[in-house]
Amino acid sequence: MTKARGSSRWNKLPGRIRVTPRVSYRVGLVPDLSSEPKIMGEFYDTVRLILLRGTLPDRELRLYLFHELLHAVSDVYDLGLTEKQVAGIERAFRRILRLNPGLRLF
């Protein structure tokens, strides 16, 4: 996992995100996340880790972090959300943020 400590991107990206008072996920950037070019983020429930493709622009990095956090929430709260459901929730929140520019998640 590459942290790129000198970059401002890493300083803005939290290294750990709490999902509940007792459950947190480490977050990291990696240059080549997957050989599959469509994979921008990965969620590993057993080790509580979220990895994101480090070459993403900042805006996309935030969106994919949110997407992977939805997977984490689904896992922690035993919701059983499918990829399609997670993607739908992500799209809905993106639209809400576009319609309400005063809202800030990061």
Average model confidence (pLDDT) for the chain? 84
Could you tell me the residue ranges of all domains in the chain?
A: 8-99
Instruction: Identify whether the C-beta of residue 42 lies closer than 8 Å to the C-beta of residue 34.
Output: yes
Q: Please report, as a single letter, which amino acid is at residue 2.
A: T
- As a whole number of angstroms, the distance between CA 49 and CA 57 comes to 21
pLDDT over 80 (residue 5): no
DSSP at 82: -
Reported as a single tens digit per residue, the pLDDT across 54-103 is 888 888 888 899 999 999 999 999 999 999 999 999 999 889 888 988 88
Report in angstroms the alpha-carbon separations of 65 from 19, 36, 69.
Answer: 13, 18, 6
Flag whether pLDDT at 34 surpasses 50: yes
More confident residue, 12 or 45: 45
Residue with the bigger pLDDT between 67 and 13: it is 67
pTM of the model: 0.80
Specify whether the CB–CB gap between 81 and 71 falls below 8 A: yes
For the segment(s) 8-99, the CATH number from 3.30.2010, 3.30.160, 1.10.8, 1.10.1060 is 3.30.2010
Strands 24-30 and 49-53: parallel
CA distances from 71 to 74, 82, 99 (A): 5, 9, 24
